[in-house]
Amino acid sequence: MTSYEDHPVYDAKELTKGETQARIVLDGQVYTLRITKANKLILTK
């Protein structure tokens, strides 16, 4: 994590540890962050 203009910045490839998906939890809800073949990000619940 680095800071950019007072907001944290996370590298998606670090979050997914080289894979294409990572799980993110917010208030007990689980979300999936996915890197597509077109190198785009999708966040779903």
Which CATH number covers residue 22? Answer: 2.10.70
pLDDT at 1 over 70: no
Quote the pLDDT of residue 6. 83
State the total domains in the chain.
1
Question: CB-hemisphere CA count at 13 Å for 10?
Answer: 10
Mean pLDDT of 2-26: 89
* pTM recorded for the entire structure: 0.79
Share of the chain above pLDDT 90, in %: 80
Question: Structural domain of residue 21, as residue ranges?
Answer: 2-44
- Which backbone phi and psi does 3 adopt, to 5 degrees? -105, 135
pLDDT at 30 over 90: yes
